[in-house]
């Protein structure tokens, strides 16, 4: 057992990933950590040694084939198994200790994916792919940058945003993963799941905001502890509950999904939520919150040919808005549904969303995509499937929409 002192930003999942453990391993050694919603900086945890993967050498194996089998570096294999590369180092039946595989992608989950992970991954992606462009389109209420990644040089513009709702943060690495896979395929001149990223790059410019609500995401993942600038208000708005896993709003208790000037007043009357809270309060006015205002200003600055807002969950694609949508929207939604296995849904009785405003303002196709199925926040194990589905939906727009 080793002793670990929790720091700000730590969660059970993040600590487990950092030490080669599973969350269950951490909780097993610290049962109290499974009963409280968040770790408190200064709490002491006892961590077991990371369990080692082992492998019994088979006939015909050598160090290089075993390293390739497990996706590890042969030098790392040698460190744990001295002499493994020698003539007698891979005798059939010999048990080897296998080192953990290094992640082969920049965007991967090491526990919850929050504002710090977005920033770290952006730095690596920009270093690896110089043709990616980055800027901040504004700041959150608490001053966190609202990052924008741009890829492509085409005349058509596609706007994509994720994590507008705080407890739907798993959409953020899904969008980041697509940006990375697109960039990698373009750099290598390879197809991506049957699509041609070279065509995407010359025909489209993608404007991706991977985390539109960073303050809210951090609140869901790490909680609101004493000393937080909104601590008293958050506890009151949350009904005294210490867990914020259900929280959708930004840090001021405003639901950014109800912030856009598309029949905003009607949506507020329909919701009937009088003040700040975890969800459904649209604020004092449309675009009163800096996060929503920044997305609207970006779309006004670069009018888009299409837009996608990534949410979770339900496995559905919403494509219409009060008849403002162009004629091609229905057919395009059917294409996106066929590509992803989701359902294209004609939605009524909802206003003030990003998709609603985009359709009404620009009369161009706009989509709300509800990734995954389950209860938010969705489990980390769903990330790989959701990331692929995100890519297939965006690829369908980039490849088929004219």
Instruction: Give the Cα separation of 361 and 373 in Å (integer).
Output: 30
| Angle (deg, nearest 10), helices 214-222 and 115-128 | 120
Query: Counting beta carbons within 10 angstroms of the beta carbon of residue 60, is it exposed (0 to 12), middle (13 to 18) or buried (19 or more)?
Result: exposed
- From the CB of residue 303, how many other CB atoms can be counted at a distance below 10 Å? 12
- Catalytic: which of 218, 370, 384, 389? 370
Closest CA to 112 of 30, 154, 168, 52: 168
CA distance 19 to 31: 18
Residues in the chain: 402
Residue 398 and residue 200 in contact, taking contact as beta carbons nearer than 8 Å: yes
Output b/e per residue, 258-280; b: 16+ Cβ within 10 A: bbbbbbbeebbebbebeebbbbb
Strands (E), 173-305: 204-209
Cβ atoms of 48 and 28 closer than 8 Å: yes
Q: From CA 104, how far away is CA 101, in angstroms rounded?
A: 8
What residues contact 216, with CB distance under 8 A and at least 6 apart?
A: 165, 166, 167, 247, 248, 249, 250, 251, 256
Q: Is 370 a catalytic residue?
A: yes
Taking alpha carbons only, the member of 299, 306, 302, 342 closest to residue 325 is: 306
Active-site residue list: 370
């Amino acid at each position: 057992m080793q002793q670990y002192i929790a720091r700000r930003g730590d969660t059970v999942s993040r600590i487990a990933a950092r030490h080669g453990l599973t969350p269950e391993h951490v909780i097993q050694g610290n049962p109290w950590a499974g009963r409280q919603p968040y770790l408190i900086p200064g709490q002491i945890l006892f961590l077991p040694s990371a369990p080692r993967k082992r492998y019994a050498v088979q006939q015909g194996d050598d160090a290089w084939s075993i390293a390739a089998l497990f996706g590890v570096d042969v030098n790392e294999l040698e460190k744990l198994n001295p002499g493994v590369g020698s003539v007698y180092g891979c005798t059939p039946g010999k048990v080897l200790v296998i080192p953990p595989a290094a992640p082969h992608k920049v965007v991967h989950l090491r526990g919850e994916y929050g504002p710090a992970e977005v920033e770290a991954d952006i730095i690596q992606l920009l270093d690896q792919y110089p043709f990616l462009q980055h800027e901040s389109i504004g700041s959150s209420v608490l001053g966190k940058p609202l990052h924008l990644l741009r890829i492509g040089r085409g005349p058509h513009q596609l706007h994509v945003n994720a994590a507008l709702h705080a407890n739907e943060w798993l959409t953020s690495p899904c969008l980041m993963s697509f940006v990375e896979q697109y960039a990698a395929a373009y750099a290598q001149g390879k197809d991506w799941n049957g699509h041609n990223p070279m065509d995407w790059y010359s025909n489209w410019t993608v404007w991706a905001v991977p985390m539109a609500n960073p303050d809210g995401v951090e609140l869901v993942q790490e909680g609101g502890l004493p000393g937080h600038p909104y601590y008293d208000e958050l506890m009151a708005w949350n009904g005294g509950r210490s867990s914020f896993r259900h929280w959708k709003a930004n840090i001021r208790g405003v639901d950014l999904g109800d912030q856009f000037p598309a029949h905003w007043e009607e949506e507020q009357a329909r919701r009937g939520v009088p003040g700040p809270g975890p969800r459904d309060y649209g604020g004092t006015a449309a675009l009163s919150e800096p996060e929503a205002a920044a997305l609207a200003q970006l779309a006004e600055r670069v009018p888009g040919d299409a837009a996608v807002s990534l949410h979770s969950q339900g496995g559905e694609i919403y494509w219409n808005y009060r008849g403002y949508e162009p004629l091609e929207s229905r057919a395009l939604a059917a294409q996106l549904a066929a590509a992803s296995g989701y359902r294209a849904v004609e939605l009524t009785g909802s206003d003030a969303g990003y998709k609603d405003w985009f359709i009404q303002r620009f009369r161009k196709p706009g989509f709300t995509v509800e990734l995954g199925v389950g209860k938010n926040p969705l489990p980390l194990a769903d990330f790989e499937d959701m990331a692929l589905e995100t890519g297939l939906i965006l690829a369908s727009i980039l490849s088929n929409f004219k």
